Copies of this chain bind each other. A is one copy, B any other.
Amino acid sequence: MAIRNYHHGMTTKTYPMPFTRIELIVFAVHPSGLEVLLIKRTEAPFAGQWALPGGVLRIDMDMDLESAAQRIAVERLGTPVPYIEQWGAIGGASRDPRAPWALSIVYQALVPGEQIQPKPGKRIAAIDWRPASDAATDATLAFDHRKLIELAMTRIRSAIDRLELPAGYFETPFTLTELQATCEAILGHRLDKSSFRRKLAERQLVQPVEGQFRQGAFRPAQLFELVAADPRNASR
């Protein structure tokens, strides 16, 4: 069960390489607030404790880091995630007892609602959604995962605060009220309808889908979609 060795060899020199994994912080928006996906580990280290889903980087299977993250998402969720973003990398000599040096590339994802009902798979005792603010204060999580969730929450909230709406996430088309409710669930507080809509209009973030309306019990609502995200406008 222990790791024997790993190394990187050249004709001139040989360097051992770190045990490299991908960790996923998968958020979902629940009416009561943000939720995060956790798995219960069956194997040491931290057997029986909850942790972020993740997996080993497979250079024989993955073309790049993002496809590695998507592969692991499929393994855990049963479906690729529409929006994924790299968070950063953490690495050190004493992060994971299984290896002398462990490196994790952390990705952050947002999936629509809780339509995804993941099933426990290989080497996983259980997999379930947990309220994110709950998990961010749970000291019993495995590895350094509590801290990662805490930072990811502040990160996603500040992105929504700045109205950086993650393209590909929101189930288009949507009504403006639905969009606002989603943002409110992520932020954890109410927003003003008028201010919210003014900012959406000024920054041209959404556009109406002409002739399409959400029919309901009351007045129908215009459906909108995100306007194509600006491709890295470094100008200003």
Contacts and interface: CB of A to CB of B under 8 A. Distances in A.
A59 interface: yes
Interface string A89-117: 11111000011110101000000000000
Copies in the complex: 2
Interface string A147-158: 000110110000
A59 B5 CA distance: 12
Contacts of A2: 10-11
A15 B88 contact: no
A219 interface: no
Given A20-B20, A59-B93, A92-B65, A4 B15 contact: no
A90 B150 CA distance: 24
B8 A1 contact: no
A88 B91 contact: no
A155 to B, nearest CB: 10
A56 B91 CA distance: 14
A204 interface: no
Contact of A63 (B18, B58, B65, B93): B93
6 contacts: A6-B6, A17-B17, A18-B59, A63-B92, A65-B91, A150-B234
